[in-house]
């Protein structure tokens, strides 16, 4: 290469992030410091460098622009004297105040709506985000484990191990089905804890059960299946999610023995999504007769989507093997770490009948080219080292105490309520007598600082009024106070 | 609660992962050790506990089953004497050999196809996975930075900081648009390095540009826009991705000044996807006139999807500001860390015109409920601490040396080749004279152990034969050897 080109390269290599796109050629000869100061003032004014933001080191910016360091130092000095920036030693030069600028209207974050507005009879897809955004002193929203127990030290240790051994090529694009290490670990986990024997190559790593449902909706839709029966009562979130993927979700009743398979068969719907190990929200376990009926229905051609969302959390009853173990060619199986570790990890797994595998893999590739690699490998490390099982034992111990605390509090403050599904899971359901509108009760409870979900959210057809109460993430004291608040809201209603 | 129930709870809380779903009630009285040994033998035989897998500590399993520890110890002793398991001190009891079992056929991982089969004229959506799976000694596939430079120590340090300060609630479900910290960091990054002034609340965090395209395809499709013009030559992957989301991708020619805006206008297509800062694969920069023409076209109602895929990597030319900075209401802007850090992180960002924002957020929620939180916060830490800019400077220094090494090697081994787009990016393009079929050249080159992409992959209409060569991820020696191999394959062809 020519000497000139080499110099150009050498100069450009320190260009950092093309700071503000400054090009010294625009500067008037002799007025470079003024010019630079003016450009910087403008950048501060229009927020391109926000208050709290850092300016490049004078050495770097000087090299970027191909000017003497003195020019940059002088420009920085002007802004310092004007009180816009300040030197913070190793923190570099920091913006402390922006010059006045023509105010540009910026969309303010949506203000939290009034509690009443949060519990409409037919909530929209953004309802969970809206409720999450609402402020409350005690959150009894179901669906999360004790997040204070997240094994931060184990996670960091596993991440160190992963980063120490990872091959550089593994930072590139990978298999859309997931990393082999995690697929092996998940297969072993499912074999040991859920009675499912599966070859690791059949495991598809996904971004949680919600993504799994989206992928299945696309694949089944393409196969002409645009109706998936769901449990009633059953998860509002699951129903909304499937509907958003243009899948109809006709309701099938759930009674004390689980899904009414006779109703399913009579409906003629080709596929069903259910939670057999611990039905959401009722907590019912699909009993032996119903399992046999459902297996017969599937053997006759029915497709089952098994959401094994909190099967590992059982307290006073024997384990319930997954349906997938019995009917690998008729059952789609979805699980995740959302209830084992944290929803924020967005990692789950999906098993599909062989004939649908290629289409599901293609859908996952189209979705995002596959999950991020580092968290997969960290999770594999936690699963194989035994750290995840230790964590699960710890969670169970805490969850049982909290479950018991909630049952005690309900007996004290809401003796009229009937408690359902407390033998497992992260939540329980209560039903209440009378003509009560549980959406209004949830709103009144939130107005008193406690978040709960109305049972009616999760019902497509008329059902008893009630509430779905998560206990796993709250302390016994919070649970006691939360339940007392529900009772107070109920009395005042 | 009743004493009985409490005991049940106490016993069940140590149940670990419901190991093998063993229920002691099934055991014959007096024969519990035999029964347990038989169950374990079966589990080893059918692979539910794989070789290398661990058995629970005797204390835990005894508590799980509600039997004396002696029963478990005796069962383990039998399997130890049979040579199936062994005690490994702190590692616990490990499976070292499985008893014979009826062999179950497991799908073998697909064997890598022959090089010839890998470069068909019309490759399918799985072509990139197939090529990735093919073995090669030198990989000149374009699109990845120097992955050996990934800042592992910085990443781990940032992760420690994040885990030390994260609130427990942040491990729960979050904002589908991403964590505020990363959205602020990205907004500041875009302002400083790409001349885009954007409010952090407008930044949507996505799982890479590929997910961004899928979200936009869904939203624009719902708005009646099912055709998006693309550059020709232009990325095969982008075209396949949009087609998979049921969007037509009519070609618009690219010449030495960039996209032929006159052709775009004549086509009547309402939207265009392009790479203005460094066109893929040609490396052309959209020049001033064309930018003005494109801006006029957009002001008249045209929609632009700006893929800013490697804008930060420029060497011998001034920075090119993003189109988004000029036309925030007509330009969708997508970027990611795939070329800055690693594709395996699957993190990117998307800016959309205000009128499309709500629909895009809903699409992201339906896709996966939002990106995982920990990697977002780690990335935000790297962006705000300056570590990412340091890393980018390091990458530039290496990439320039490798770019120069490739130019030198091409001059030596392929003097007849014309080199395009070497002033920026992670790859360059060469075109060759004559009637050559570049797919066959790529196949012949892979047969000699070197992966390259045929230019024809990225062309919808007849174009000069050529190759797209990535240099950023390879050493000067590998580059020299790889180019020499291409030349040898060309001579032998």
Q: Is A389 in contact with B14 (Cβ distance < 8 A)?
A: no
Q: What pLDDT score was predicted for residue B294? A: 98
Least Cα distance to B375 among A385, A364, A377, A365 occurs for A377
Instruction: In whole angstroms, give the CA distance from residue B408 to residue B411.
Output: 5
Q: Report CB contact under 8 Å: A49, B369.
A: no
pLDDT at B434: 86
Mutation target for B interface from A5, A148, A158, A172: give the one with most B CBs within 10 A: A172
Do residues B162 and B374 touch, judged by C-beta distance below 8 A?
Answer: yes
**Do B128 and B173 fall into the same domain?**
no
pLDDT of residue B165: 95
- Residue owning tokens 């298999």: A175
Nearest CA in chain B to A342: B171
- Which of A467-481, B203-217, B299-313 is predicted least confidently? B299-313
pLDDT value, residue B4: 35
Cα angle B439, B443, B445; round to 5: 115
Q: Which of A214, A319, A343 sits opposite B366 (nearest CB)?
A: A214
Which residues from B are below 8 Å from A17, CB to CB?
A: 189, 192-193, 312, 389, 392
Q: What is the mean pLDDT of residues B256-283?
A: 97
Contact A372 B163 (CB under 8 A): no
CB of A329 less than 8 A from some CB of B: no
Q: Regarding predicted confidence, which is higher, A4 or A437?
A: A437
Mutation for A interface: B366, B380, B390, B472, most A CBs within 10 A = B366
Quote the pLDDT of residue B280: 97
* CA A196 to centroid of chain Cα atoms: 25
d(Cα A327, Cα A351) in Å, to the nearest integer? 12
pLDDT confidence bin for A69, thresholds 50/70/90: confident
pLDDT over 50 (residue A332)? yes
Mean pLDDT, residues A141-170: 96
Within its chain, how far is the Cα of B301 from the centroid? 33
Q: Do B428 and B397 share a structural domain?
A: yes
Max mean pLDDT among A44-53, B75-84, B226-235 falls in B226-235
A401 lies in the same domain as A373: no
Scanning every residue of chain A, which has its alpha carbon at the shortest distance from the alpha carbon of B48?
A: A191
My answer on whether A31 and A58 are in the same domain is yes
Please report, for residues A149, A234, A235, A248, B192, the alpha-carbon distance to residue A239 in angstroms, rounded to integers and kept in the order given: 30, 8, 6, 9, 43
In a domain, A150, yes or no: no
Same domain, B233 and B334: yes
Q: Which chain B residues are Cβ-neighbours of A191 within 8 angstroms? A: 47-50
Phi then psi for residue A149, to 5 deg, are -90, 0
Q: Is A9 on the interface with B (CB under 8 A)?
A: yes
A346, closest residue in chain B (CA to CA): B372
Whether residues B344 and A172 touch (CB distance < 8 A) is answered with yes
Distance CA(A249)–CA(A461), nearest Å, equals 12
Give the residue-averaged pLDDT of A176-197. Answer: 95
Please judge whether B365 and A5 are an interchain contact, meaning their C-beta atoms are less than 8 angstroms apart: no
Check the CA dihedral B303-B309-B310-B311 and report its sign: positive
Mean pLDDT value across residues A55-83? 85
pLDDT over threshold 90, residue A66: no
Q: Are residues A400 and A381 in the same domain?
A: no
Domain termination residue (choose one: B95, B130, B158): B95
User: Which structure tokens are listed for A85?
Assistant: 């920036």
pLDDT at A431 over 50: yes
Q: Are residues B397 and B304 in the same domain?
A: no
Quote the Cα angle for A349-A351-A353, to 5°: 165
CB pair distance less than 8 Å for B192 and A345: no
User: Does residue B154 fall inside a structural domain?
Assistant: no
Strands A93-95 and A54-55: antiparallel
Mean pLDDT of chain B: 89
Cβ contact B316–A23 (<8 Å): no
Closest to B172 (Cβ–Cβ): which among A12, A144, A354?
Answer: A144
Are residue A251 and residue A173 in the same domain, yes or no?
Answer: yes
Considering the domain architecture, whether residues B331 and B410 belong to the same structural domain is answered as no
A12, pLDDT greater than 60? no
Residue from B374, B375, B388, B397 to probe the interface with A (highest A Cβ count within 10 Å): B374
* Residue A1 with chain B: CB contacts under 8 Å: 404, 407
Whether residue A159 lies inside any domain: the answer is no
Q: Using CA of residue A175, residue A181, residue A187, residue A189, what is the dihedral sign?
A: negative
Is the pTM for the entire model greater than 0.95?
no
Percent of chain B with pLDDT over 70: 93
3-state secondary structure chain B: CCHHHHHHHHHHCCCCCCHHHCCHHHCCCCCHHHHHHHHHHHHHHCCCCCCCCEECCHHHHHHHHCCCHHHHHHHHHHHHHCCCEEECHHHCEEECCCCCCCCCCCCCCCCCCCHHHHCCCCCCCCHHHHHHHCCCCEECCCCCCCHHHCCHHHHHHHHHHHHHHCCHHHHCCCCCCCCHHHHHHHHHHHHHHHCCCCCHHHCEEECHHHHHHHHHHHHHHHCCCCECEEEECCCHHHHHHHHHCCCECCEEEEECCEECHHHHHHHCCCEEEECCCCCCCCCCCCCHHHHHHHHHHHHCCCEEEEECCCCCCECCCCCCCCHHHCCCCCEEEEEECCCCCCHHHCCEEEECCHHHHHHHHHHHHHHHCCCCHHHHHHHHHHHHHCHHHHHHHHHHHHHHHHHHHHHHHHHHHCCCCEEECCCECCEEEEECCCCCCHHHHHHHHHHCCEECEEHHHHCCCCCCCEEEEECCCCCHHHHHHHHHHHHHHHHHC
Q: What is the pLDDT of residues B388-406, one digit of tens each?
A: 999 999 999 999 999 999 9
- What is the least distance, in Å, from the CA of B21 to any CA of chain A? 6
Torsion of CA B153, B154, B155, B158, to 10 degrees: 120
Q: Are the Cβ atoms of B312 and A17 closer than 8 angstroms?
A: yes
Residue span of the structural domain in which B178 resides: 167-385
Give the distance from residue A444's alpha carbon to the nearest chain B alpha carbon, in angstroms. Answer: 23
| Domain edge (last residue) among B63, B95, B127 | B95
Quickly state the pLDDT bin for A294 (edges 50, 70, 90).
very high
| Residue A342 at interface with chain B, using a CB cutoff of 8 Å | yes
Q: What is the pLDDT of residue A461?
A: 96
Greater confidence, A315 or A348? A348
Average pLDDT over residues B364-379: 97
**What are the two backbone dihedrals, phi and then psi, of residue A292, each rounded to the nearest 5 degrees?**
-65, -45
What is residue B338's predicted lDDT score, i.e. its pLDDT?
A: 96
> Chain A: nearest CA to B461, how far in angstroms?
24
| Percent of residues, chain B, with pLDDT higher than 90 | 68
How many other C-beta atoms are found inside a 10 Å radius of the C-beta of residue B300?
Answer: 9
B104 within some domain: no
User: Does residue B202 contact residue A107 with C-beta atoms inside 8 Å?
Assistant: yes
Residues of B in contact with A211 (CB under 8 A): 367-369
B44 contacts on A by Cβ (under 8 Å): none
On whether the CB atoms of residues B236 and B457 are closer than 8 A, the answer is: yes
Going by C-alpha positions, the residue among A442, A433, A437, A434 that lies closest to residue A468 is A442
Are residues A194 and B150, on separate chains, in Cβ contact within 8 Å? no
Yes or no, beta carbons of B365 and A171 under 8 Å apart:
no
Calpha distance A440→A117 (Å, rounded): 10
Rounded Cα–Cα distance for residues B407 and B418 (Å): 10
Most confident among A39-53, A83-97, A446-460, B111-125 (mean pLDDT): A446-460
Q: What is the ipTM of this complex?
A: 0.83
10 Å CB burial of residue B28 (0-12, 13-18, 19+) is exposed
| pLDDT over 50 (residue A404) | yes
Among residues A343, A368, A385, the one where a domain terminates is: A385
> Is A284 domain-assigned?
yes
Residues 391-430, chain A, touching B (beta carbon < 8 A): 392-393, 396-397, 400, 404, 407-408
SS3 of A345-397 = HCCEEEECCHHHHHHHHHHHHHHHCCCCHHHHHHHHHHHHHCHHHHHHHHHHH
Residues of A in contact with B155 (CB under 8 A): 163
Higher pLDDT: A485 or B115? It is A485
What local confidence, expressed as pLDDT, does residue A8 receive? 34
Interchain CB distance below 8 Å, A316 and B129: no
Residue B254, domain CATH: 3.40.640.10
Across the strands, what pairs with A305?
A: A273, A332
Tell me how far apart the alpha carbons of residues B167 and B162 are, in angstroms, rounded to a whole number.
10
Other CB atoms closer than 10 Å to residue A171's CB: what's the count?
Answer: 25
Both tokens of residue B450?
């070197």
A370 chain-B contacts, CB cut-off 8 A: 346
Of A170, A189, A346, the CB nearest to B369: A346
Point out the residue among A195, A372, A473 whose CB comes nearest to the CB of B345: A372
**pLDDT the model gives residue B113:** 63
φ, ψ (nearest 5 deg) of residue A206: -130, 170
Q: Do B16 and A397 touch (CB under 8 A)?
A: no
The verdict on a CB contact (< 8 Å) between A169 and B156 is: no
The mean pLDDT of A294-301, rounded to a whole number, is: 97
pLDDT digits (tens, 9 = 90+) for B413-468: 999 999 999 999 999 999 999 889 999 999 999 999 999 999 999 999 999 999 99
Average pLDDT estimate for A9-22: 51
| Residues 84-143 in B contacting A (C-alpha not used; CB under 8 Å) | 92, 106-107, 109, 125-126, 128-129, 132, 143
Mean pLDDT of A241-259: 97
Sign, Cα dihedral of B401, B403, B409, B411: negative
Backbone angles phi, psi at A79, to 5 degrees: -65, -30
Can you give the pLDDT at residue B112? 57
Dist. CA B146–CA B232, nearest whole Å:
27
Nearest to B16 among A8, A343, A392 (CB): A392
State whether B368 and A345 contact (CB < 8 Å): no
Alpha-carbon gap, residue B280 to B238, rounded angstroms? 10
Are B322 and B297 contained in the same domain?
yes
Q: Residue B476 pLDDT more than 70?
A: yes
- Choose the most confident range, by mean pLDDT, from A54-58, A435-439, B132-136, B331-335: B331-335
Put simply, whether A273 touches B (Cβ < 8 Å) is no
Q: What is the pLDDT of residues B10-21, one digit of tens each?
A: 333 333 447 787
Is the pLDDT at A136 greater than 90, yes or no?
Answer: yes
Both tokens assigned to A65: 């622009």
Does B474 fall in a domain? yes
Mean pLDDT taken over chain A? 89
Count CB neighbours of B426 within 10 A: 23
Same-domain status, A350 and A472: no
B156–A contact, CB cutoff 8 A: yes
- Average confidence (pLDDT) over A316-328: 88
The residue ranking higher by pLDDT, B270 or A107, is B270
State the pLDDT at residue B13. 33
CA–CA separation, B193 and B339 (whole Å): 15
Answer yes or no: is A155 within a domain.
no
Comparing B202 with A37, the larger pLDDT belongs to B202
Q: A107 contacts in B (CB within 8 Å)?
A: 199, 201-202, 354
Give the least confident one: A315-324, A350-359, B300-309, B357-366: A315-324
B21 touches chain A (CB under 8 A): yes
Is the model's pLDDT at A200 over the cut of 50? yes
Report CB contact under 8 Å: B374, A150.
no
Higher per-residue pLDDT: A242 or B129? A242
Residue A369: its pLDDT value, please? 96
Instruction: Evaluate whether residue B106 is within a structural domain.
Output: no
pLDDT band at A58 (very low <50, low <70, confident <90, very high): confident
d(CA B370, CA A245): 16
pLDDT at B93: 87
Closest residue to B21, CB basis, from A13, A319, A375: A319
Six token digits for residue A195: 């009675």
Statement: residue B68 has pLDDT above 90: no
Instruction: Write the CATH number for B453.
Output: 3.90.1150.10
CATH number where B90 lies: 1.10.10.10
Whether A314 and B195 lie within 8 Å, measured CB to CB: no
Q: What is the pLDDT of residue A111?
A: 54
If one counts the domains in chain B, the total is 3
Mean pLDDT to the nearest integer, A198-219: 97
Residue of A nearest to B15 (CA): A393
The mean pLDDT value for A164-187 works out to 96
The first and second tokens of residue A215, run together, are 């992928």
Q: Length of chain A in residues, anyone? A: 493
When CB atoms are compared, the residue of A148, A155, A362 closest to B125 is A362
* CB nearest to B156's CB, from A160, A365, A367: A160
A·B CB contacts under 8 A: 303
* Residue of chain B whose Cα is closest to the Cα of A397: B13
A471 and A440 within one domain: yes
């Amino acid at each position: 290469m020519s000497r000139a080109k080499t110099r150009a390269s050498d100069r450009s290599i320190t260009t950092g992030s093309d700071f503000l796109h400054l090009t010294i050629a625009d500067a008037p000869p002799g007025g470079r410091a003024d010019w630079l100061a003016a450009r910087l003032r403008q950048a501060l004014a229009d927020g391109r460098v926000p208050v709290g933001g850092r300016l490049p080191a004078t050495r770097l910016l000087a090299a970027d622009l191909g000017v003497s360091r003195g020019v940059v130092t002088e420009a920085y000095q002007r802004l310092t004297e004007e009180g816009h920036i300040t030197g913070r030693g190793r923190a570099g030069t920091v913006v402390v105040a922006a010059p006045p600028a023509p105010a540009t209207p910026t969309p303010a974050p949506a203000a939290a709506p009034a509690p009443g507005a949060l519990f409409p009879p037919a909530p929209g897809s953004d309802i969970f985000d809206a409720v999450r955004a609402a402020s409350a002193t005690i959150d009894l929203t179901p669906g999360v484990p004790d997040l204070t127990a997240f094994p931060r030290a184990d996670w960091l240790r596993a991440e160190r191990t992963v980063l120490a051994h990872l091959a550089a090529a593994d930072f590139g694009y990978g298999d859309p089905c997931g990393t082999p290490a995690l697929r092996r670990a998940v297969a072993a986990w499912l074999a040991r804890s859920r009675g499912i024997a599966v070859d690791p190559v059949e495991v598809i790593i996904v971004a949680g059960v919600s993504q799994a449902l989206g992928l299945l909706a696309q694949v089944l839709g393409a196969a002409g299946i645009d109706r998936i029966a769901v449990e009633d009562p059953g998860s509002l979130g699951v129903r909304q999610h499937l509907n958003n993927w243009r899948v109809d979700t006709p309701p099938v009743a759930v009674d004390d023995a689980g899904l009414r398979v006779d109703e399913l068969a009579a409906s003629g719907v080709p596929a069903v999504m259910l939670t057999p190990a611990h039905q959401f929200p009722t907590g019912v376990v699909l009993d032996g007769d119903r399992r046999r009926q459902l297996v017969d229905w599937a053997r006759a051609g029915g497709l089952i989507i098994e959401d094994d969302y909190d099967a590992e959390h059982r307290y006073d009853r024997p384990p319930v093997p997954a349906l997938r173990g019995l009917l690998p060619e008729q059952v789609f199986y979805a699980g995740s770490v959302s209830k084992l570790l944290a929803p924020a990890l967005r990692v789950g797994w999906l098993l599909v009948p062989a004939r649908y595998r290629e289409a599901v893999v293609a859908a996952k590739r189209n979705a995002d080219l596959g999950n991020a690699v580092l968290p997969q490998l960290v999770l594999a490390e936690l699963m194989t080292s035994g750290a995840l099982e230790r964590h699960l034992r710890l969670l169970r111990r805490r969850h049982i105490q909290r479950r018991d605390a909630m049952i005690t509090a309900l007996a004290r403050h809401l003796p009229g309520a009937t408690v359902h599904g407390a033998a497992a899971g992260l939540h329980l359901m209560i039903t209440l007598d009378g003509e009560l509108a549980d959406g209004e009760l949830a709103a009144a409870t939130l107005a008193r600082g406690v978040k709960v979900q109305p049972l009616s959210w999760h019902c497509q057809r008329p059902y008893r009024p009630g509430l779905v109460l998560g206990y796993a993430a709250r302390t016994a004291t919070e649970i006691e106070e939360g339940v007392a608040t529900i009772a107070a809201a109920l009395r005042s209603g």
